[in-house]
Structure 1
């Protein structure tokens, strides 16, 4: 399929015959309509609305491939007790991650009011996430069959309290944050209180109880995790309880959003995200359920975490700059770095955790995108942030997308778009990571979170900064 269609409009100007003839053909990588897992008329209309605004032919086709990828390939719809059930896999791993599944569908929130099918998907996913949290609020990933044991080869022998239905049991603060963000986004977009039933409220309370357990004010709590591995990022220290930390009001996290183990237990971006989404949870509880007790508990916990962050969440770099730390332990030990997976320091403004104009965050983000971050890489293919999960000199496109979403200047956004366009190895999709010097080498050819996030970026630019798409890169 050729990208340029007769009569298409780019930036308000019709393509000339010469430009159509010279434009390369980038293939449509979507499954045929009959093979798509889920079809949303509103998403199809959005692709048709936004695509003509993208002058760069390859970028345009990448948007058409990526924006619907979650719906095309990862959604498994059914019913439970007569209500919709949506199981959303990550892509090439056939399990539901609480974080990923939320992030994969959130780029469609602005369309949900006008599409009944899409509302059914959101209601089904909110319900599935609630039931999953009630299986085990410490788990990050779940099986389609809630009675099935894990089939993930790397998790089969983990020393932790594995339950039926759990695919992996890495405790990550953000795993409980993302369902709160999804619920709030759906409520704000629709005013539909249907998903916020007794099961949802029970899962919300289980989440708050788990956060409080992992404040560890009175001992380590019930969670421990050990895995036999040649990678220290795959297991937790000190008999599976993690490094020691002084109680601060913040929440201990065993693992980061990358699924890598924390060095220090207080993962600052995850705690900042928790503060934000707990306040959002309070809004949903109070307005959609009229549950004043749940709302009050969520706000009180947010206040405790916020106070801990104010006292212990910052640090000074070698040049004296006051920045947010990446991890701390409450004893005064701090770690500065950033990881591509959100919540990250770079993503704080985009996630609504800080004001984009906040001076401390701007210093923090600048440091994260510099040699002060050991996981910032520069190569022939571009610049970006990676993390220990894949290794050195592997850039995650997600870091570039988040940087652009966070309100970077026009030149930086164009640079991010060019790098994203030129590092897909001509597959038409966004990958987990690529070699900083050879983008033909990449990890995870089917990674729906990154595809959805890229689609969200293009929609945001089309609506708010159209000039950045109106000319070829």
Structure 2
């Protein structure tokens, strides 16, 4: 099964997400029920239900209230599978239309619920279970990006030439997969003071993360990871014997694939390296304060400092129109890729991930570039404008990119513009999608994509809490 499946508006939409075509002109029901029936939802949370009622009561725009009520709980409604093993919670989270758990996606899907844990002990336990599950997965193989809940199941691809193990769905090495697990665990700890998920299994996972990052600096050799796939799609395999194009070992970390699951061109993916700097420091803080692993924490801090220095040295380039900006990818030899992709981490998302300050001049110049026609994957059509990426292709805008633009904006007009764009482009379904055509939102991919839905809900809730006047 391909991860990205193109679905036209006329398709049948699964998992109870859409009962029929939505029409604002409907005389019988202006906003039809499209959310999964209560009896079929995977995980009920009264804290989230209260948030939905509060938002809908406040929002003057009833369509926005309807969209929030559909999108914000979508991860809990449709994708979580909590269980207990010997009294310890474990939570398996699918992305939507594929029965596999991406480390990145699962973290991002539950992230917006962290502020509600104080009101809901079961929600806290659900997220603790995901932290436990991710540590378990990392210790199976830190190079894998997606896993099954069944530890004996073998990957379905069949054409992947890499060291696959049971329990792994896909083995595309992506820096951000490991970074996201640290980000979630760190935020969980800060919000709850609960150290239960951070025992020996978690410490072992941190050791594996450090080992993997150091191997992928490729200072002494190419490292143990290689990947090739028999495929007609060039971005699904690595060139040059399965290692990707050569890099100069300058201290940056190779990421063979992007967060879109597309192969990198130049393996030093700058947004992911900046994300790694933040994550390494967060892991070090936890190891020192929770596990008393002082030596390991120091190693993580040293690597963070090395990568940060290398980004400043090799990851910032002179753009002829925008000045000093972050490149998207570099090879350490002097070559670099100028673009941005809607998938997160992206250059646009750096402040959201805590990797840079939003008012940092280099970031602001980079932001101006990626939101301009100079970015080959910034599309502007009659329906909307926004960032896409090569994974789906030309003229396909990703709602996540519009949402991230709003989440990282400090301009009220831009935030309002992003909300309006997202409201206009749900393709009459009541949900966000992976991507839609710049001229026709009814031409979209993935009817069931929980990350995009929950991220949109996070954006609306943040706006409500911080700038409620924009919802009037």
Q: What interval of TM-score do these two structures reach, taking the shorter chain for normalisation?
A: over 0.9
Q: CA RMSD in A?
A: 1.4
Counterpart-to-counterpart distance in 1, 2:86 and 2:209: 24
Q: Is the 8 A contact 1:23 1:57 kept in 2?
A: no
Residues 97-143 of structure 1 deviation map (CA, whole Å, 9 limit, x = unaligned): 00000000000001112211011101110011001001110000001
Match of 1:302 among 301, 304, 309: 304
Residue of structure 2 in register with 1:104 after alignment: 109
Counterpart-to-counterpart distance in 2, 1:393 and 1:422: 17
Counterpart-to-counterpart distance in 2, 1:325 and 1:444: 29
Residue of structure 1 in register with 2:192 after alignment: 190
Cα deviation for residue 156 of structure 1 reads 2.0
Q: Is the 8 A contact 1:184 1:284 kept in 2?
A: yes
Residues 333-359 of structure 1 deviation map (CA, whole Å, 9 limit, x = unaligned): 111100000100000111111111111
Q: Is the 8 A contact 1:27 1:61 kept in 2?
A: no
Counterpart-to-counterpart distance in 1, 2:92 and 2:199: 19
Residue of structure 2 in register with 1:95 after alignment: 100
Residue of structure 2 in register with 1:451 after alignment: 453
**Most deviating of 442-451 and 296-305:** 296-305
Residue of structure 2 in register with 1:353 after alignment: 355
For structure 2, which runs of at least 5 residues remain unmatched after alignment?
A: 1-25
For structure 1, which runs of at least 5 residues remain unmatched after alignment?
A: 1-20
Matched, 1:261 2:263: yes
Residue of structure 1 in register with 2:58 after alignment: 53
Residues 267-296 of structure 1 deviation map (CA, whole Å, 9 limit, x = unaligned): 000000000111111122222223222322
Counterpart-to-counterpart distance in 2, 1:319 and 1:379: 23
Match of 2:392 among 390, 393, 404: 390
Counterpart-to-counterpart distance in 1, 2:415 and 2:103: 29
Counterpart-to-counterpart distance in 2, 1:41 and 1:285: 34
Matched, 1:413 2:415: yes
Match of 1:86 among 81, 87, 91: 91
Residue of structure 2 in register with 1:364 after alignment: 366
Residue of structure 1 in register with 2:132 after alignment: 127
Counterpart-to-counterpart distance in 2, 1:172 and 1:284: 23
Counterpart-to-counterpart distance in 2, 1:358 and 1:23: 51
Q: Is the 8 A contact 1:275 1:302 kept in 2?
A: yes
Distance 1:252 1:459, change over 3 A: same
Which secondary structure state, in structure 2, belongs to the residue aligned with residue 123 of structure 1?
helix
Counterpart-to-counterpart distance in 2, 1:309 and 1:196: 30
Query: How do 1:417-436 residues align onto structure 2 when only pairs under 5 Å count?
Result: 417-436=419-438
Counterpart-to-counterpart distance in 2, 1:276 and 1:165: 29
Matched, 1:228 2:265: no
Matched, 1:44 2:46: no
Match of 1:404 among 387, 403, 406: 406
Residue of structure 2 in register with 1:137 after alignment: 142
Distance 1:447 1:136, change over 3 A: same
Counterpart-to-counterpart distance in 2, 1:82 and 1:412: 47
Residues 346-393 of structure 1 deviation map (CA, whole Å, 9 limit, x = unaligned): 001111111111111000011000111000000011100000000000
Which secondary structure state, in structure 2, belongs to the residue aligned with residue 167 of structure 1?
strand
Residue of structure 1 in register with 2:118 after alignment: 113
Residue of structure 2 in register with 1:340 after alignment: 342
Distance 1:137 1:467, change over 3 A: same
Residue of structure 2 in register with 1:461 after alignment: 463
Which secondary structure state, in structure 2, belongs to the residue aligned with residue 147 of structure 1?
coil
The aligned length equals 447
Which secondary structure state, in structure 2, belongs to the residue aligned with residue 316 of structure 1?
strand
Match of 1:71 among 64, 71, 76: 76
Cα deviation for residue 56 of structure 1 reads 1.3
Residues 30-74 of structure 1 deviation map (CA, whole Å, 9 limit, x = unaligned): 222211101112111211222222221111101000100000000
Cα deviation for residue 23 of structure 1 reads 12
TM-score (norm 2): 0.93
Q: Is the 8 A contact 1:193 1:289 kept in 2?
A: no
Counterpart-to-counterpart distance in 2, 1:367 and 1:53: 36
Counterpart-to-counterpart distance in 2, 1:28 and 1:177: 37
Residue of structure 2 in register with 1:218 after alignment: 220
Distance 1:303 1:23, change over 3 A: farther
**Most deviating of 290-299 and 174-183:** 290-299
Counterpart-to-counterpart distance in 2, 1:205 and 1:25: 54
Counterpart-to-counterpart distance in 2, 1:446 and 1:54: 25
Counterpart-to-counterpart distance in 2, 1:22 and 1:416: 29
Cα deviation for residue 157 of structure 1 reads 1.5
Q: Is the 8 A contact 1:24 1:57 kept in 2?
A: no
TM-score (norm 1): 0.93
Residue of structure 2 in register with 1:275 after alignment: 277
Distance 1:344 1:253, change over 3 A: same
**Most deviating of 32-41 and 313-322:** 313-322
Structure 1 runs of 4+ off > 3 angstroms?
A: 21-24
